[in-house]
C-alpha cells in the first residue's frame, strides 16, 4: 500500500510551486485539481502518483511544459549546463525556458507555427528561433553545429516520423528526451471519446512500440517515466530518455519500467 501525502507538500515535491505557503494559497483559491476534481483543503491526503493539475498561471516557466521537462531532467539525472540543445515543437517555449534556466548554452527552438514563442525568449540571444519550420524538412544549414540534447513535444504526428530527422543533427554522444502522447501514436479509430486514450493496454502498446522503434534506429532506452502533468484534454503522457551511444536499460528492465509507469496510471 502506497503512503499518502499532504496535497500542499506533494505540489511542492512535484516542483509545481516553490513553497508550501504558495501551495496552500492556490489550494484554498480552488486552483488545484486531483484526478479532475477540485480540492480546496491543503491537508487532503493523496497518493504520490495522483494526477495533479493547476488551473491558472503560477509556474516558473512560460508554460507548464517547463514543469514537465524539469521533472524528466530530475528523474533521468540529466545535466544540461553548457550544452547545445534543440527544442522540437517549441510552441510558447516551456521546454526552452526550462533548459535555459538549467544552464543550457544555446537552444534552437523549432516549430511549424508562427509567432508562438514567448517574447522574452524570442529576444534572448541564447535562443535561435526557427519558426515556420517543419523538423522533417529542416535544412542542415539551419543548425550549423551538432546538438548535445534534443527535447521533443509534438502533436498530430507520431514521434516515429520525427526522431529519424532529429538524429541527423545529434552528436554521437547526444541524447533525446521525447514526450510520448498516446493519442498521436495509436492507430486510427483507437482514440476514445473526447480525444482521450484511457486504456492502460493501449498505453502499454504505445510504449512497447516506441521501444521497438528506438531499438530499430540504434538508440538505447535509458529511462521511461510518466509525465507529472496531464496533457491536453486530460491525456496521460510519458517521457522517453534515449541515447545514441550510451548503453541503456536491458530488455527485462525496460519491461519492468513500462509496468511501473502503467501501474501509476
Q: Where are the domains of the chain?
A: 5-54, 65-263
What local confidence, expressed as pLDDT, does residue 232 receive?
Answer: 66
pTM recorded for the entire structure = 0.79
Per-residue pLDDT of 45-99, as tens digits, reads 998 777 777 766 556 787 778 989 999 999 999 999 999 999 999 998 999 999 9
Residue 191 burial class via C-beta count within 10 angstroms: exposed 0-12, middle 13-18, buried 19 and up: middle
What local confidence, expressed as pLDDT, does residue 127 receive?
Answer: 98
What local confidence, expressed as pLDDT, does residue 24 receive?
Answer: 85
Q: Which three cell numbers stand for residue 22?
A: 504558495
From first CA to last CA, the distance across the chain in angstroms is 15
- Name residue 109's beta-bridge partners: 87, 129
Is 222 in contact with 241 (CB distance < 8 Å)?
yes
Per-residue pLDDT of 101-125, as tens digits, reads 999 999 999 999 998 898 899 999 9
- 5-54: CATH class: alpha beta
**Topology annotation, domain 65-263:** Rossmann fold (3.40.50)
User: In this structure, what is the dihedral angle of CA atoms 145, 222, 94, 185, given to the nearest 10 degrees?
Assistant: 100
Amino acid at each position: 500500500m502506497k503512503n499518502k501525502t499532504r496535497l500542499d507538500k506533494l505540489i511542492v515535491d512535484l516542483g509545481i510551486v516553490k513553497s508550501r505557503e504558495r501551495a496552500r494559497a492556490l489550494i484554498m483559491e480552488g486552483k488545484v485539481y486531483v484526478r479532475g476534481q477540485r480540492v480546496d483543503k491543503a491537508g487532503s491526503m493523496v497518493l504520490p502518483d495522483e494526477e495533479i493539475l493547476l488551473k491558472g498561471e503560477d509556474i516558473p516557466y512560460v508554460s507548464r511544459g517547463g514543469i514537465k521537462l524539469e521533472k524528466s531532467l530530475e528523474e533521468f539525472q540529466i545535466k544540461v549546463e553548457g550544452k547545445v540543445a534543440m527544442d522540437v515543437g517549441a510552441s510558447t517555449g516551456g521546454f526552452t525556458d526550462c533548459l535555459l534556466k538549467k544552464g543550457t548554452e544555446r537552444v534552437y527552438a523549432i516549430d511549424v507555427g508562427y509567432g508562438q514563442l514567448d517574447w522574452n525568449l524570442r529576444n534572448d540571444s541564447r535562443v535561435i528561433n526557427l519558426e515556420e519550420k517543419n523538423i522533417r524538412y529542416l535544412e542542415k544549414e539551419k543548425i550549423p553545429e551538432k546538438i548535445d540534447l534534443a527535447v521533443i513535444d509534438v502533436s498530430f504526428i507520431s514521434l516515429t516520423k520525427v526522431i529519424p530527422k532529429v538524429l541527423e543533427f545529434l552528436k554521437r554522444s547526444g541524447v533525446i528526451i521525447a514526450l510520448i502522447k498516446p493519442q498521436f501514436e495509436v492507430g486510427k479509430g483507437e482514440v476514445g471519446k473526447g480525444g482521450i486514450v484511457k486504456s492502460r493496454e493501449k498505453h502499454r502498446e504505445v510504449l512497447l512500440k516506441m521501444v521497438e522503434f528506438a531499438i530499430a534506429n540504434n538508440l538505447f532506452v535509458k529511462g521511461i517515466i510518466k509525465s507529472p502533468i496531464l496533457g491536453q484534454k486530460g491525456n496521460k503522457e510519458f517521457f522517453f530518455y534515449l541515447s545514441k551511444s550510451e548503453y541503456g536499460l536491458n530488455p527485462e528492465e525496460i519491461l519492468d519500467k513500462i509496468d511501473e509507469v502503467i501501474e501509476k496510471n
